Amino acid sequence: AQKITQTQPGMFVQEKEAVTLDCTYDTSDQSYGLFWYKQPSSGEMIFLIYQGSYDEQNATEGRYSLNFQKARKSANLVISASQLGDSAMYFCAMREGNTGGFKTIFGAGTRLFVKA
């Protein structure tokens, strides 16, 4: 069955350092999309970055990059130069392909704490 796994319930990082949030996925589709969303304490969901299954280069958006390793089915989020405002929940998500009805499912999330 298609699923998303985030094995780090919580992570700490020092301000200005880089941090990697892990995500692995399982799908039988050849075509799928991978996303990361941020949820601050206010509760809103904020889109961060997208990676397509056929994209050969890793996606980057400002301080966010996605380390995509297709053979290992992993899509880790790297945040460079962490800021206090990065403290939040981070969710990995996958939009499934035709087999999965093109629906989007989420992982359990990782809570990131940025220390001053």
Partner 1 sequence: NAGVTQTPKFRILKIGQSMTLQCAQDMNHNYMYWYRQDPGMGLKLIYYSVGAGITDKGEVPNGYNVSRSTTEDFPLRLELAAPSQTSVYFCASSPSPGQGKLDEKLFFGSGTQLSVL
Binding site for partner 1 (CB under 8 A): 6, 31-33, 35, 37, 43-45, 47, 50, 52-53, 91, 93, 95, 97, 101-109, 111
Rounded to a whole number of angstroms, the minimum distance from the CB of residue 16 to partner 1 is: 27
* Residue 56 burial (CB count, 10 A): 7
Which residue's CB is nearer to partner 1, number 18 or number 40?
40
Which residue's CB is nearer to partner 1, number 82 or number 110?
110
Rounded to a whole number of angstroms, the minimum distance from the CB of residue 24 to partner 1 is: 14
Which residue's CB is nearer to partner 1, number 20 or number 39?
39
69 alpha carbon, distance to own chain's centre: 13
DSSP summary character for residue 59: P
Which candidate, 72, 71, 75, 69, places its Cα nearest to that of 95? 75
Rounded to a whole number of angstroms, the minimum distance from the CB of residue 44 to partner 1 is: 7
Residue 56, phi-psi category: left (phi > 0), alpha (psi -120 to 50), beta (remainder): alpha
Rounded to a whole number of angstroms, the minimum distance from the CB of residue 64 to partner 1 is: 14
Q: Which two tokens stand for residue 18?
A: 């880089």
71 alpha carbon, distance to own chain's centre: 17
